[in-house]
Amino acid sequence: MAKYIIKRILFGVLTAFVVATLTFFIMNLVPGGPFLSEKAVTPQAQAAMEAKYGLDKPLFVQYLTYMGDILQGDMGMSLKKRGFTVNDIIRNKFPVSARLGGMAVLLSVLIGVPLGSIAAYNRGKVIDNIIIVFSTAGIAIPTFLSSTLMMYFLSVKLKLLPSLGLTTPASYIMPVLALSLYPASYISRLMRSSMLDVIGQDYMRTARAKGVSTFKSIFKHALRNAILPVVTYLGPLLAYLMTGSFIVEKIFTIPGLGHEFVSAIPSRDYPLIMGTTIFLACFIILMNVVVDIAYAFIDPRIKLK
């Protein structure tokens, strides 16, 4: 087990290194730069600025400097937000997105897993069909639409919930619902199909033949096997939701990392773009490692591989 975990972590570190390198070189391939703008800048001023940020050195030297800094945890200064380091920005914005995303993941699992299981156990009955219809709709409706509709009805028309920011606990409700709609639907479909598969397995028949109650056979024997595909999906899902959704953060004016990341792109804020990309990549890798480890705890067969 320990060997498996160490292997996963080492592999994660390697992946992060590759991502950092790729990000660096891709950024340099993209035409344009932070100091090119419509306003005329004298060549001297341009050169002075480039020298200040080390942009005049050969690419490989820049790369080494950059990697060296990152290893020391320094991702540089934001070019557009004067006076803020990239670290500051991530430290301020990430918790907001992570809290929102974490709540959404939790809600998705709490809704998706039971709904999928109920549908599977009632296959072909009315309740199954209702769940299928809702989960299909949940997958098909784009987030911007569900967010806008919610905002229109719940805030504007009925004035039940605040529409902007994250000032009160109630202001979490709509963004979290908006973020959960797709994953909850997706999880319920995943769960339904894996549950159907598990229900038909021989070991479920063995459990029944032993005299185990239906309740126990679902919770002990079926759930642990059926949840595996959901656990696999949770890795990317956690990473995706906790790093902030641009659309939801934009619509509900939430000061999160997703919003920050996307607005850094048009302004060519290299350090911020690279910093957030590398941070996001590391976070995604970390989540996948966590999920892999959780997977091995749930399914003992994994240890062999």
Partner 1 sequence: MSDYLVDIKHEKLSFFTPVGEVKALNDVSIQMKEGEVLGIVGESGSGKSVTAYSLMGLTADNGKIVDGEVNFNGHRVDLMTEKEIRKIRGKEISIIFQDPMTSLNPVYTIGNQIEEAVRVHGDKTKEEARQRPRELLTLVGINEPDKRLKQYPHELSGGMRQRVMIAIALACEPKLLIADEPTTALDVTIQAQILELMNDLRRKLKMGIILITHDLGVVASMCDHIAVMYAGEIVEYGTTDDIFYEPKHEYTKGLLKSIPKFQEKEYSRLVPIEGTPVDLLNPPKGCGFAPRCDSCMKICLERKPEKMIINADGTFEDMPDETEYNGKHYSRCWLQKKEQFELQDNAKGES
Closest to partner 1 by CB, 161 or 212: 212
Residues between 180 and 239 that touch partner 1 (CB under 8 A): 201-203, 205-214, 220-221, 224-225
Cβ 213 to partner 1, closest distance in Å? Answer: 7
Residue with tokens 């202001």: 171
Closest to partner 1 by CB, 80 or 125: 125
Out of 52, 159, 301, 305, point to the residue binding partner 1 (CB under 8 A): 301
Closest to partner 1 by CB, 75 or 119: 119
Task: DSSP for the chain, please give it.
Answer: -HHHHHHHHHHHHHHHHHHHHHHHHHHHHSS--TT--SS---HHHHHHHHHHTTTTS-HHHHHHHHHHHHHTT---B-SSSTT-BHHHHHHHHHHHHHHHHHHHHHHHHHHHHHHHHHHHHTTTSHHHHHHHHHHHHHHHS-HHHHHHHHIIIIIIIS--S--SSS-SGGGGHHHHHHHHHHHHHHHHHHHHHHHHHHHTSHHHHHHHHHT--HHHIIIIIIHHHHTHHHHHHHHHHHHHHHT--HHHHHHTT---HHHHHHHHTTTT-HHHHHHHHHHHHHHHHHHHHHHHHHHHHH-GGGGG-
Cβ 293 to partner 1, closest distance in Å? Answer: 16
Instruction: Kindly state the number of chain residues that form the binding site for partner 1, as judged by CB under 8 A.
Output: 22
Residue with tokens 């769940």: 131
Closest to partner 1 by CB, 212 or 247: 212
Cβ 32 to partner 1, closest distance in Å? Answer: 53
Binding string, 37-56, against partner 1, x = CB under 8 A? --------------------
Determine how many CB atoms are found less than 10 A away from the CB of residue 98. 18
Cβ 214 to partner 1, closest distance in Å? Answer: 8
Name the one range near partner 1 by CB under 8 A: 46-54, 110-118, 177-185, 296-304: 296-304
Give yes or no for residue 298 binding partner 1 (CB under 8 A).
yes
Closest to partner 1 by CB, 226 or 264: 226
Give yes or no for residue 300 binding partner 1 (CB under 8 A).
yes
Cβ 224 to partner 1, closest distance in Å? Answer: 5
Given a contact cutoff of 8 angstroms between Cβ atoms, the answer to whether 121 and 195 are in contact is yes
Give yes or no for residue 148 binding partner 1 (CB under 8 A).
no
Alpha-carbon span 108 to 252, nearest angstrom: 20
Cβ 105 to partner 1, closest distance in Å? Answer: 23
Cβ 118 to partner 1, closest distance in Å? Answer: 16
Closest to partner 1 by CB, 55 or 302: 302
Judged by the rule CB under 8 A, the positions of this chain that interact with partner 1 are: 201-203, 205-214, 220-221, 224-225, 298-301, 304
